[in-house]
Homo-oligomer: A and B are copies of this chain.
Amino acid sequence: MTVRVQEADFDTGAEIAQLRLQYPMAGAVVAFVGQVRDLNDGKAVSRLTLEHYPGMTEKSLATIIEQAMQRWPLLDATVIHRVGELPPQAQIVLVAVASAHRGDAFAACEFIMDYLKTEAPFWKREATSEGTVWLDARDSDQLSRKRWQ
């Protein structure tokens, strides 16, 4: 399991390759890459700032991956989440899951993202032409998570 919370950007291709090359039995890697959008609710975004809870963040992500591994026969998973100031089109997060078969990898990758979005202690503050605001949590993210219960 790899969990990293960092300001620096990450190399998505290298992370996916490292994951699959460690596991000759891995037939499938499913990866999610989140990107800072240039528009949110119709407003131009100039910068996104990510605050987090050091210590708890890493534990929370590790717990989410462990839950996924208990639920599906996975080989391994990598979660990298950036913090600090990010411009539009920066990468925010990578979740990559390796498994023998694709169905398990798809389900687990989406599960990890749905739990990350609702349980991992990150908060986004968005700077737009109208000023700087903390983003509100979305009901749709709670609904996505509840599907797994």
Contact = CB atoms under 8 A, between A and B. Distances in A.
Interface of A: 11-14, 16-17, 20-21, 24-35, 37-39, 88-89, 100, 102-103, 105-106, 109-110, 113, 140, 144
Nearest to A36: B27
A106 B109 contact: yes
Contact of A33 (B16, B37, B100, B113): B16
Q: Is the interface of A mostly helix, strand, loop or mixed?
A: mixed
Contact of A102 (B32, B88, B103): B32
Centre residue among A14, A20, A31, A33 by max chain B CB count within 10 A: A33
Given A89-B20, A102-B113, A109-B106, A35 B26 contact: yes
Contact of A13 (B16, B35, B103, B140): B16
Nearest to A91: B20
Contact of A21 (B16, B24, B29, B89): B89
Contacts of A26: 35, 37
Contact of A25 (B30, B31, B32, B37): B37
Given A102-B32, A110-B106, A24 B12 contact: no
Contacts of A106: 32, 106, 109-110, 113
A16 B12 contact: yes
5 contacts: A21-B89, A28-B34, A30-B32, A30-B109, A32-B105
A14 B144 CA distance: 30
